[in-house]
């Protein structure tokens, strides 16, 4: 079975079918966060999420994933060949925290729509939901698939740490845009020579901060932006990376607490 890189994959008719009237969520306090995590459970069957296949006039079927749990669906794994075992080569992961395939978690009652991955020239398969993780730490699916989600999140959080440190060094030393790009390239080379992982999503997640720095600083260099604007861009990236890293760390803490606490497994 080919790896996921061999798939023609279309993300998206609509990333989330969001209502403009959806109310903003207030920042969670520590007490409310702990209460949410205590509600976590493992769904052995019939999870509160539905995957449907929508057949369209253009002969390009869509996956429609709808969250019915009271907490947001943060990640899920789709098995592209229901007759095969749960292996890396026949599964695809979607994670709203690492932004792999999914740009944001799916709130209760809302849906995510994506193209059905398939080899060019072949009929699309009938994918099935293989695993899922919710904001409160609740889970569905086998441990070996669920383990891929925190591995990718941990890899990205560590990569954010390295990127934040590099950007802060650049701000302190008043780097040019070209110097930031060169530092990002060095980070990429170091990663390529020192890191190996059996989880493709973890490898992909690690490159996200590097790629973001590179495309922004190369644009700054082409536009010959002043040192002040370049420094402002670097500080903006630090703020963005810090926010995303902290969300990942919080989710990892929640998953660890859920694994150690009572469970319905």
> 10 with 134, same domain?
yes
What are the φ/ψ torsions at residue 35 (nearest 5 degrees)? -65, -40
Spatial contact of 73 and 30, defined as CB atoms under 8 Å apart? no
Task: Let me know if residue 83 belongs to a domain.
Answer: yes
> 129 with 181, same domain?
no
Among 119, 76, 121, CA closest to 96 = 76
> 60 with 123, same domain?
yes
In angstroms, the first-to-last Cα distance of the chain is 31
For strand 91-95 and strand 139-140, is the pairing parallel, antiparallel, or unpaired? unpaired
Distances (CA, A) of 58 to 54, 61, 115, 116: 11, 8, 12, 13
Dist. CA 212–CA 163, nearest whole Å: 10
Task: Let me know if residue 262 belongs to a domain.
Answer: no
> 15 with 124, same domain?
yes
Give pLDDT, residue 36.
Answer: 52
Give pLDDT, residue 60.
Answer: 76
Give every strand in the sheet of 139-140, ordered side by side.
42-43, 139-140, 128-134, 73-79, 91-95
3-state secondary structure the chain: CCCHHHCECCCCCECCCCCCCCCCCCCCCHHHHHHHHHCCCEECCCCCEEEEEECCCCCCCEEEEEECCCCCEEEEEEECCCCCCCCHHHEEEEECCCCEECCCCECCCCEEEEECCECCCCCCCCCEEEEEEECCCCEECCHHHHCHHHHHHHHHHHHHHHHHHHHHHHHHHCCCHHHHHHHHHHHHHHHHHHCCCCCHHHHHHHHHHHHHHHHHHHHHHHCCCCHHHHHHHHHHHHHHHHHHHHHHHHHHHHHHHHHHCCCCC
Structural domain total, the chain: 2
> 78 with 165, same domain?
no
Dist. CA 111–CA 105, nearest whole Å: 10
Give pLDDT, residue 103.
Answer: 92
> 67 with 166, same domain?
no
Determine the structural domain holding residue 207 and report its residue range: 151-255
Task: Let me know if residue 146 belongs to a domain.
Answer: no
Task: Let me know if residue 260 belongs to a domain.
Answer: no
Give pLDDT, residue 34.
Answer: 52
- For every one of its 265 residues, what pLDDT tens digit does the chain have, with 9 covering 90 and above? 343 333 333 333 333 433 323 333 444 454 545 555 567 899 998 999 999 988 777 667 889 999 999 999 999 999 887 776 666 678 889 999 999 999 999 999 999 998 876 556 666 667 899 999 999 999 999 999 999 999 999 999 999 999 999 999 999 999 999 999 999 999 988 876 656 555 778 888 889 999 999 999 999 999 999 999 999 999 999 999 999 999 999 999 877 766 655 445 5
């Amino acid at each position: 079975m080919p790896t996921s890189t061999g798939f023609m994959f279309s993300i998206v008719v609509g990333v989330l079918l969001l209502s403009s009237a959806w109310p903003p969520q207030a920042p969670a306090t520590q007490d409310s966060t702990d209460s949410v995590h205590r509600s976590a459970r493992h769904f052995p069957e019939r999870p509160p999420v539905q995957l449907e296949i929508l057949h369209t006039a253009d002969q390009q079927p869509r996956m429609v994933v709808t969250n019915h749990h009271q907490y947001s669906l943060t990640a899920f794994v789709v098995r592209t060949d229901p007759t095969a075992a749960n292996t890396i080569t026949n599964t695809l992961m979607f994670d709203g925290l690492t932004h792999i395939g999914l740009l944001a978690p799916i709130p209760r009652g809302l849906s995510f729509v994506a193209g059905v991955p398939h080899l060019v020239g072949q009929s699309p398969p009938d994918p099935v939901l293989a695993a899922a993780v919710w904001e409160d730490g609740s889970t569905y699916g086998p441990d070996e698939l669920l383990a891929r989600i925190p591995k990718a999140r941990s890899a990205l959080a560590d990569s954010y740490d390295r990127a934040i440190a590099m950007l802060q060094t650049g701000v302190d030393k008043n780097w040019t845009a070209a110097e930031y790009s060169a530092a990002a390239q060095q980070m990429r080379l170091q990663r390529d020579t020192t890191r190996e992982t059996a989880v493709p999503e973890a490898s992909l997640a690690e490159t996200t901060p590097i790629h973001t720095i590179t495309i922004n600083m190369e644009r700054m260099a082409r536009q010959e932006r002043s040192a002040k604007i370049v420094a402002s861009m670097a500080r903006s990236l630090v703020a963005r990376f810090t926010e995303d890293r902290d969300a990942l760390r919080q989710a990892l803490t929640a998953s660890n607490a859920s694994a150690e606490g009572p469970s319905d497994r």
